[in-house]
């Protein structure tokens, strides 16, 4: 059964409208902005009402291609709303209203991920409410930070309930990789013509870019492409995915994100663990790709090497023992160690169970230290429970499915998950919207794909 080209074409049309809206935000009067925004809203509502899966296509494209508007400023951070934030809420509410009108709300799908995900959102809201009442945290800042977590929940619920067939999974993955191609082209444009470290489209906040955020997204792209290629090694689609995956590696190194470098290297572990038949061949190919950069892209290799060695540039910090050697780290690397120490010595000492909430977020780097600060031990436990459930879902799909593309989806997701989890040890990866929206979309695809197993063959009647 061939998938229809209309979902992708209509989604591209909607994204073009989103891009035009971003242009109007910067150049046009308020009345024109409102008119264009209202037009886009009507288009998206119409698409979602008539064919809800089209709304999901729009989201897949807009996740990385939406402009941002800063609405509040706190110390060292800005609170921004992206056009995609509005789309997520709009599409979710439209779909939910459609389901309620058709009396299908009771038929919403539940997966093993739902319960810990709901619990995680509840502890975030609970801790944030306490932070507002007890510590005087900003209600506005708390609301908008909390809203982003609710958006991740909406993306997951939408994906699980709108995707019903392997053909839809295949179509959405095509949309995902087409979006990745656009991001790659933009990233290389930034490097070649703007002479800057690459960053995602519209990912500029008060003149400051976020290359590490692009690094997290590229980890997902590389991991997903690897799994799908390994498990479906034929056809033009595989060639396209291979081009996307391989092209992502040099761009990732150009981000100069050391956490992304380390995460990419560690992604070899799940890759080799999950692929047993061609393990050694795959190891040679992957290592060959990584080490061939020295000859093919000497400038990129030199840039990455210089960035790694900068970690050990003495900057007046304390000496530390590592592998029997005394080392002194540069300021950024040293601060990561200090954040972990503060998490257990300061943050837990103040509010050990439920933390401080979202409204008083300090300058913390590292997902675990940030979780301890925001939600305490209760939130940390629920987060780890949620991560365990997600991995279990993907492993179950990988072991049970006989469909090559679904097996590749599961393997690619596990590789990508391992990569961004490693990155999150020193970065706040699980709150970066340009990483988390694609992540929760893929979590939804993996979760719903578990229910797409082919029916067992009927026994011949006697």
Tens digit of each residue's pLDDT, the chain (462 residues): 445 555 555 555 555 655 555 555 555 555 555 566 667 777 888 888 888 899 999 999 989 988 776 655 555 555 567 778 888 988 999 888 888 887 666 567 889 999 999 999 999 999 999 988 888 888 877 888 888 899 999 999 999 999 999 999 999 999 999 999 999 999 999 999 998 999 988 877 656 778 889 999 999 999 999 999 988 766 778 899 999 999 999 999 999 999 999 999 999 899 988 887 777 777 787 777 777 777 888 888 888 888 888 777 766 556 665 555 666 667 777 788 888 888 888 888 888 998 988 877 777 889 999 999 999 999 999 999 999 999 999 999 999 998 989 999 999 999 999 999 999 999 999 999 999 999 999 999 999 998 886 544 555 554
What is the chain's length? 462
Neighbours of 43 (CB within 10 A): 16
CA dihedral (110, 115, 119, 121) in degrees, to 10, reads -30
Q: Is 210 helix (H, G, I), strand (E, B) or coil?
A: coil
Query: What are the backbone angles phi and psi of residue 84, rounded to the nearest 5°?
Result: -65, -35
Query: CA 391, CA 414: separation in Å to the nearest integer?
Result: 7
Nearest in space to 70 (alpha carbons), one of 62, 80, 60, 82: 80
DSSP-derived letter for residue 345 is: I
Distance of CA 225 to the CA centre of its chain: 15
- Give this prediction's pTM: 0.87
CB proximity list for 63: less than 8 A, separation 6 or greater? 84, 179, 434, 437, 438, 441
Q: What share of the chain is helix, strand, coil (3-state, %, to 5)?
A: 70, 5, 25
For 11, the token pair is 């989604």
Q: Is 205 helix (H, G, I), strand (E, B) or coil?
A: strand
Nearest in space to 176 (alpha carbons), one of 81, 280, 57: 57
CB proximity list for 382: less than 8 A, separation 6 or greater? 116, 119, 120, 123, 375
Query: CA 231, CA 183: separation in Å to the nearest integer?
Result: 25
Query: CA 443, CA 413: separation in Å to the nearest integer?
Result: 8
């Amino acid at each position: 059964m061939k998938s229809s080209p209309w979902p992708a074409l209509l989604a591209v049309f909607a994204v073009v409208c989103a891009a035009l809206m971003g242009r109007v935000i910067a150049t046009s009067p308020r009345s024109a902005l409102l008119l264009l925004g209202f037009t886009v809203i009507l288009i998206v509502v119409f698409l979602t009402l008539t064919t809800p899966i089209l709304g999901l296509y729009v989201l897949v494209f807009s996740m990385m291609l939406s402009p941002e508007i800063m609405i509040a400023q706190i110390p060292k951070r800005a609170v921004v709303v992206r056009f995609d934030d509005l789309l997520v809420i709009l599409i979710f509410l439209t779909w939910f209203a459609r389901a309620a009108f058709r009396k299908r709300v009771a038929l919403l799908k539940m997966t093993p991920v739902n319960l810990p995900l709901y619990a995680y959102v509840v502890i975030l809201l609970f801790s944030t409410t306490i932070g507002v009442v007890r510590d005087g945290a900003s209600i506005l800042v708390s609301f908008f930070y909390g809203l982003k977590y609710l958006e991740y929940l909406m993306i997951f619920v939408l994906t699980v309930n709108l995707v019903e067939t392997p053909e839809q999974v295949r179509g959405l993955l095509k949309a995902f990789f087409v979006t990745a191609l656009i991001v790659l082209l933009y990233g290389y444009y930034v490097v070649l013509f703007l002479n800057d470290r690459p960053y995602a489209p519209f990912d500029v906040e008060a003149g400051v870019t976020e290359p590490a955020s692009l690094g997290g997204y590229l980890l997902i792209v590389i991991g997903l492409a690897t799994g799908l290629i390994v498990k479906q090694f034929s056809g033009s689609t595989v060639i396209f995915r291979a081009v996307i995956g391989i092209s992502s590696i040099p761009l990732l190194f150009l981000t100069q994100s050391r956490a992304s470098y380390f995460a990419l290297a560690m992604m070899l572990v799940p890759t080799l663990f999950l692929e047993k038949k061609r393990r050694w061949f795959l190891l040679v190919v992957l290592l060959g790709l990584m080490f061939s950069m020295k000859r093919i892209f000497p400038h990129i290799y030199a840039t990455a090497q210089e960035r790694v060695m900068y970690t050990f540039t003495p900057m007046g910090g304390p000496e530390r023992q590592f592998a029997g050697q005394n080392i002194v780290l540069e300021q950024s690397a040293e601060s990561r160690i200090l954040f972990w120490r503060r998490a257990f010595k300061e943050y837990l000492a103040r509010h050990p169970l439920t933390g401080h909430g979202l409204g008083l977020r300090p300058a913390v780097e590292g997902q675990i230290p940030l979780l301890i600060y925001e939600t305490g031990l209760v939130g940390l436990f629920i987060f780890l429970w949620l991560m365990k459930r997600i991995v279990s879902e993907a492993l179950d799909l990988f072991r049970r499915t006989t469909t090559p593309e679904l097996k590749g989806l599961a393997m690619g997701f596990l590789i990508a998950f391992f990569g961004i989890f490693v990155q999150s040890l020193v970065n706040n990866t699980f709150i970066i919207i340009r990483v988390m929206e694609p992540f929760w979309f893929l979590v939804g695809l993996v979760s719903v794909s578990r229910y797409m197993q082919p029916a067992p063959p009927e026994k011949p009647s006697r």
